[in-house]
Structure 1
Amino acid sequence: MNSDSTCCLDPEPNQTGSIVITGLKNPTIEKLEKMRKWSINTYKCTKQIVAERLGRGSRTVDLDLEAGIEILMDLRSRYENITKLAQTLSSQTAQILQTQKLLGDAFADLSLKTPQLHEEFGFNADTQKYLSKNGEPLVEAINSFTSGMNTLVNKTIEDTVVNIKQYETARVEYDAYRIDLEELNLGPRDTNTIPKIEQAQILYQQHRQKYEKMRDDLSVKLKLLEENRVKVIQKQLVLLHSAVASFYAGNQQKMDQTLREFHSKLKMPGAEMPSWLENEQNQS
């Protein structure tokens, strides 16, 4: 036989003198056995899920953990919403700043081409350009906010959501094998059923241990996420508020200054002589 073979042969003579080969591993048989176990597990879990949805299945509930999961899923939905709104605000603000810049350029061009309105167009050009320039840090702050929120929602929280799904799968498996064992224990005990009960007990313990580990790990992860979430959100909100407040406070200060300069330096039309319309009205 080829020395590279994965088969393990252990020839043993039986009572008749013939040789029996033991320990032979057949890859096909192993795959079929895995498929059989997978099919049984899938069937039991599907049966459990259907029974729960129909209101007939017994379901293990950890009230504290599921309350935490519900809160997290609600927060994730709300965070996704404010992130989308912030992205929209950033896009619209950037468009406004670009329009203000273009308007300022147009005012500046007209200031040069219309000497009689040079100062009026000039003041408006400076104002629009200032607003556009002053708005750039605001857009950067909003983009930083959305970036931080995207990281929190799509990476940090999503990583925990994956664990929640794994926990739920383990919970369904545990309940499926728990109910299977309970049903067998309610039946008769004889030479045919006792081996089945013992096997069901082994599988039940395995899935119970898996469920309890997933539950405990998820509880710890939710607590850590809560602490991290609060810190991240707090930092992002403070930075965003500071940027928005500075933007509008700075603009208000600049607007007040511009208005004062406008009224002190410019001579309003008609201050020295009446317009032709006023002359017509006075003559009539």
Structure 2
Amino acid sequence: MTGSSASPPEPSAPPVDSPFSAPPHEANTPTSDTTETMSRIPTGIKLPDAVANIDTAQVAAKVESFKKWTIGTFKNSKQQLLEHMGKIDKTVDPEFEAQCEVLKDIHRRYGLVVAAAKNFSQVLTQMAEAEKKLSESFYQLSLKEEQIKAQCTTTSETMRGVGEQASSLDACLRYFISSMETVYSQTITDTLHTIYNTESARIEYDVDRNDITAASNPPQGQQPKSLPAGATEKCDEKKAKYEKLKSDARIKMRLLEENRISVVAAQLEKLQSALAAYYSGNAKLLESSVRELSILQTPQPSFIPAM
């Protein structure tokens, strides 16, 4: 026995056929899971190259555009708030604004007509179906009740005719609704869109006008502020845009009134004929009204070209 102690034996690897042995792999060969994970990472793209391909001028232009939009939106919102509070003056055209308010009210009333007509059409559809079902039920009864067959047959035919007339009136009403929806949701709305654009242009003009006024007439004890280059020219351009849109809106409102009255009057006359025919039981006149309404010209979305 020597003075040096023997080192512990190194653990030997388990036999190849041992259940504790790992499956054989080649050196530095990734497993299937690793390979699948690596396959999801796009190859051939390097971060420095991707950054170098960015158009900095385009990004700067977009940032500057967003900055201008944000500042403009803030100024316009501030202008509207101060106008509502009565702390700042605004450009006013009483005659034009009165015409706009009248058109907005007319638009709202057309919406009420369309909604009520749709409700009436639904009732007519349900009533026509109910009358036709009642007619069929009397007919089925007549097949079994020989003693009252004549009365059942007569009642069945009467109810069938009434149901057909209700369907015809519903068809007339649907043609009328289609025309009124065009007037309400497209024709008048097109003119209102121009009016809203005019209001937006007026606010933008007033923002610049008030900025120039505030810079030229500062509070007592303060020096006048210098205006940015081209501020006056920019204000004049916005004023010209506002006046142009206001002129376009006036033309559209005038043409809209002339054409709207003629178109809606024709539609109403045909609908009145259909109602009179229905409630008087004149089936031939009712069918004629259906044909006339179906071929009657539908109003166009806009009576004048875009301006």
**Which one of the candidate residues 147, 151, 155 is aligned to 1:116?**
147
> Does structure 1 residue 166 correspond to structure 2 residue 197?
yes
CA distance in 1 between partners of 2:163 and 2:64 (Å): 70
Provide the aligned C-alpha RMSD in A.
Answer: 2.4
The structure whose residues are more often helix, as a share, is 1
Counting only pairs closer than 5 Å after superposition, residues 5-154 of structure 1 correspond to structure 2 as 26-154=57-185
Amino acid at match of 1:56: K
CA distance in 1 between partners of 2:84 and 2:103 (Å): 23
Q: Secondary structure, in 3 states, of the residue corresponding to 2:92?
A: coil
- Indicate the residue corresponding to 2:289 in structure 1: none
**Aligned-pair CA distance for 1:63:** 1.4
CA distance in 1 between partners of 2:153 and 2:60 (Å): 87
**Aligned-pair CA distance for 1:110:** 1.4
**Aligned-pair CA distance for 1:192:** 8.7
Larger C-alpha radius of gyration, 1 or 2?
2
CA distance in 1 between partners of 2:84 and 2:205 (Å): 17
Deviation sequence 1:196-217 (CA, Å, 0-9, x none): 1663212211111111111111
Amino acid at match of 1:44: K
CA distance in 1 between partners of 2:133 and 2:193 (Å): 48
> Does structure 1 residue 155 correspond to structure 2 residue 186?
yes
Deviates more, 1:144-153 or 1:160-169: 160-169
> Does structure 1 residue 232 correspond to structure 2 residue 263?
yes
Structure 1: gaps (5+ residues):
1-24, 254-284
CA distance in 1 between partners of 2:62 and 2:224 (Å): 27
Total equivalences in the alignment? 227
**Which one of the candidate residues 251, 257, 272 is aligned to 1:241?**
272
> So what's the TM-score if we normalise by structure 1?
0.74
Identity of aligned residues (%): 33
Q: Secondary structure, in 3 states, of the residue corresponding to 2:148?
A: helix
CA contact (8 A) 1:131 1:251 kept: no
Amino acid at match of 1:222: M
**Aligned-pair CA distance for 1:240:** 0.8
**Aligned-pair CA distance for 1:36:** 3.6
**Aligned-pair CA distance for 1:226:** 1.1
CA contact (8 A) 2:138 2:155 kept: yes
CA distance in 2 between partners of 1:233 and 1:78 (Å): 13
CA distance in 1 between partners of 2:230 and 2:80 (Å): 23
Structure 2: gaps (5+ residues):
1-55, 285-307
- Indicate the residue corresponding to 2:214 in structure 1: 183
**Aligned-pair CA distance for 1:37:** 2.9
**Which one of the candidate residues 192, 200, 210 is aligned to 2:231?**
200
